[in-house]
Amino acid sequence: MLFEEERKRQIAGYVQERGRASVPELAERFQVSESTVRRDLRDLEDAKQLRRTHGGAVALQQDGPEPSFVEKEDRFRAQKEAVAKQAVSFIEEGDTVFLDSGTTTYYLAKLLKSFQKLTVVTNSNMVAQELSQVKQLHLLLTGGTLRHETQAMVGPLADRAIGSLKVDKLFLAINAIDAESGLTTPNLTEAETKRSMMRSARQVILVTDHSKFGKVSFAKVADLSEIHHCVVDDEVAREVVQEMEAEGIKVTIARRIDK
């Protein structure tokens, strides 16, 4: 039997490693009652080591510097490329699409060069560079203040431009996804620009890899229920898919061809 402080330390580590854990799971793992687990989770939340949710807890995103676009690009690359290949199948000739700034949307941009009639709006410096020489595409940049960490153009100028548009489909990138906390991101200004994008779109399609689930970041973007469709790789947990479908979200699983 572990002492209380050692048990709490191990619970915090367990949740951080896995991203999320339920009360029954923790009770069985540490051989204590569910009431003891709930008390431990309250103490750990007060100590800012995790965030309680209905029925369990989720890991808090680390408070260190936000990784740069380059640092994030190769993380789960195969999964992100699979998601991009699946997501491009939802784009039709003649569509007006918004590509958010993110590594998965960057891989999606690479797949748009075969289209002959497509309007692409983006706040991503990397997407803009990728598509700048594709003459048959109509490319619109939002303008705004460049965030070097994400290579995203954000802020009032970007929001004003986005607010004047109405696009068919938004392909949204995000840092953290949780059933209770919704979609969150580290930067308040970027969160507001993402909200502007969502308001401009008839259909919001979240493109993400499985690692973003069960995490909570600083600034809320939206509730899960505000997403229409989610494209995610095949390593996503089954319970995560069930949670999203319970919110009325269509979930498409992108299968990796290299597995």
The answer to whether 101 and 173 have CB atoms below 8 angstroms apart is yes
203 vs 259: which has the higher pLDDT: 203
pLDDT at 191 exceeding the cut of 90: yes
Full set of structural domains in the chain with CATH: 4-60 (1.10.10.10), 69-254 (3.40.50.1360)
The partner residues of 95 in beta bridges, in order of sequence, read none
Query: Per mean pLDDT, which of 11-15, 59-63, 76-80, 129-133 is the most reliable?
Result: 129-133
Q: What percent of the chain has pLDDT over 90?
A: 71
What is the reported pLDDT for 60?
73
215-258 residue pLDDT tens: 888 888 999 999 999 999 999 999 999 999 999 999 999 998 66
What pTM was estimated for this model as a whole? 0.77
What per-residue confidence (pLDDT) applies to 70?
57
State residue 71's pLDDT score.
Answer: 59
Maximal CA-CA distance, the chain:
67
List of E strands, 100-249: 118-122, 137-141, 145-147, 152-154, 167-172, 176-178, 182-185, 201-208, 215-216, 219-222, 229-233
pLDDT at 127: 97
Residues linked to residue 59 through DSSP beta bridges, in sequence order: 215
- pLDDT of 2 higher than 80: no
The Cα angle at residue 73 between residues 188 and 193, in degrees rounded to 5: 25
Please say if the pLDDT value at position 135 is more than 80.
yes
Q: Which band of pLDDT confidence, cut at 50, 70 and 90, is reported for residue 179? A: confident
pLDDT at residue 259 in the model: 56
Contact 56, 20 (CB under 8 A): yes
Other CB atoms within 10 A of residue 9 CB: 14
Whether residue 58 contacts residue 178, with contact meaning beta carbons closer than 8 Å, is answered with: yes
Instruction: Please tell me the distance from the alpha carbon of residue 199 to that of residue 164, in angstroms, as a whole number.
Output: 10
Identify the residue whose tokens are 């059933």: 179
Q: Note whether 224 and 179 are within 8 A (CB).
A: yes
Angle, CA of 207, 162 and 222, to the nearest 5°: 45
pLDDT at 20 over 90: no
